[in-house]
């Protein structure tokens, strides 16, 4: 267990065992409010469904399907709704992790993202205004028949810190983590500054 509680992950922090941490930042950035979001990853036949984000936050990156939790719904209900709105499918979703994300912004708003995993699905995978869905192989590409027809996970096109926790999502290991991003004025985009991920030991 890490001695320093990561702000945003106070709940059950004592049950977390550090998995990976890094970045150049010496302290976590300050936030004044937290918005609830969801992110759902569906698996089928040794493949994971990701969506190419066509607009809004994370545009031009691949991600799971999700969005804001609306008033009156639970996080699980929001995750199921967003999956159906953005990919046209239903899946039995299981909570697998929490990602606390802060990207430098004027109103100092942080995101608490509940991450879900669904194994199998119902319906027909359908492109939406927001997301273009695509299957990627989760098998070792050298020894799988499926992999030869399905591209590998495009790690270079995810949020830069997602590759840290993807192994936990793939191995069904419950986790919680935080990633802070800072605006790099020269690059004109948010870049990772400090991150910490832990696995749930109980």
Ligand X SMILES: CNc1ncnc2c1ncn2[C@@H]1O[C@H](COP(=O)(O)OP(=O)(O)OP(=O)(O)O)[C@@H](O)[C@H]1O
Q: What is the contact surface with ligand X in residues (CB under 6 A)?
A: 37, 39, 56-58, 63, 66-68, 99, 101, 111, 113, 159, 161-162, 179
Which of residues 39 and 137 has its CB atom nearest to ligand X in the complex? 39
Residue number, 66 or 198, with CB nearest to ligand X: 66
Q: Minimum distance between the CB of residue 145 and ligand X, rounded to whole angstroms?
A: 30
For the chain, the DSSP string reads: --SSPPTT--TTGGGEEEEEEE-S-SSPPP-SEEEEEEEEEEEETTEEEEEEE-SSTTTTSEE-B--BPPTT--HHHHHHHHHHHHHSEE--EEEEEEEEEEE--TT-EEEEEEEEEEES-EE-----SSEEEEEEE-S-TTS-TGGGTSPBP-GGGS-TTHHHHHHHHHTT--EEEEEEEEEETTTTEEEEEEEEEEEE--
The residue behind tokens 């890094």 is 22
Output the smallest distance, CB 125 to ligand X, in A: 17
Please, what is the minimum distance in Å from the beta carbon of residue 1 to ligand X?
24
Nearer to ligand X, 135 or 195 (CB): 195
CB count within 10 Å of CB 189 equals 11
Minimum CB–partner distance for residue 149 and ligand X (Å): 27
CB nearer ligand X, residue 108 or residue 201: 108
Shortest distance in whole angstroms from residue 142 CB to ligand X: 28
Q: Which residue is nearest to ligand X (CB)?
A: 67
CB closer to ligand X, 115 vs 147: 115
């Amino acid at each position: 267990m890490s001695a320093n509680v990561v702000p945003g992950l106070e709940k059950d922090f004592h049950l977390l065992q550090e998995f990976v941490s890094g970045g150049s930042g010496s302290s976590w950035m300050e936030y004044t409010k937290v918005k609830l979001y969801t992110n759902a990853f569906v698996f089928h036949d040794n493949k994971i469904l990701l969506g190419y984000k066509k607009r809004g936050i994370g545009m031009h990156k691949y991600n799971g399907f999700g969005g804001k939790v609306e008033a009156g719904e639970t996080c699980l209900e929001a995750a199921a709704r967003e999956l159906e709105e953005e990919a046209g499918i239903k899946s039995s979703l299981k909570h697998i992790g929490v990602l606390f994300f802060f990207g430098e912004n004027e109103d100092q708003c942080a995101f608490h993202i509940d991450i879900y995993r669904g194994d199998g699905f119902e319906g027909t995978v359908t492109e939406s205004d927001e997301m273009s869905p695509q299957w990627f192989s989760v098998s070792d590409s050298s020894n799988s028949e499926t992999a030869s027809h399905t591209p590998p996970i495009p790690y270079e096109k995810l949020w830069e810190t997602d590759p840290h926790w993807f192994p936990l999502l793939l191995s069904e290991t419950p986790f919680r983590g935080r990633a802070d991003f800072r605006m790099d004025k020269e690059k004109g985009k948010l870049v990772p500054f400090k991150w910490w991920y832990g696995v749930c030991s109980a």
